[in-house]
Chains A and B, each alone.
Chain A
């Protein structure tokens, strides 16, 4: 099975900072990689799919990149409303594994 490892597990940054979260697959995979945002007490919502496609309505400060085994979610200018836990997920085929999550807080 392909395992998905996210890093860091948590981070604290200032408003306006550039934030980068990494998701590493244990073996090469397709670009069927999604990033989800889960705010406290809320249902996860997809931000990015196909590794780099921004879902309609998602602020342009979010971006995704990567291929093969290494994928990245970037928030270009962190905003207070971005406080959340972010998860990557491979969704191409069995197993549809999630990463362990990255909790983002404001410093």
Chain B
């Protein structure tokens, strides 16, 4: 069974750097053509795509947040890590990771983590 699970701090202070980890199970990055994205959702608002890492290790970022984001993958640990610097209260949101199988048979982001709520406050 494929699962993704987000972990990280519940509360961060303004200007701090947020580090979130997505731990996957049920497949291995070393032998699966799978990409992982981070997506967030402020309370009562829409989904916002943040960053994506492909199986090839190519990375892409939301244009509006590019300067603040870094995504990376640790294949040995089955983890994808997102860092976001200079956190602000407007970054308060539930942060999700989700996986996509790459290639012609892709069925979009078919597996999502449960999400982790991050509050930015002093």
Contacts and interface: CB of A to CB of B under 8 A. Distances in A.
Main secondary structure of the interface of B (DSSP, over half): strand
B86 to A, nearest CB: 21
Contacts, number: 65
Interface string A72-91: 00000000000001010101
B21 interface: no
Interface of A: 1, 32, 34, 36, 38, 43-46, 49-50, 53, 55, 85, 87, 89, 91, 93-101
Given A94-B52, A97-B49, 20 more contacts: A36-B47, A36-B109, A38-B47, A43-B112, A43-B113, A46-B109, A49-B107, A49-B108, A50-B107, A87-B47, A89-B49, A89-B108, A93-B60, A95-B49, A95-B62, A96-B52, A96-B60, A98-B48, A98-B49, A101-B47
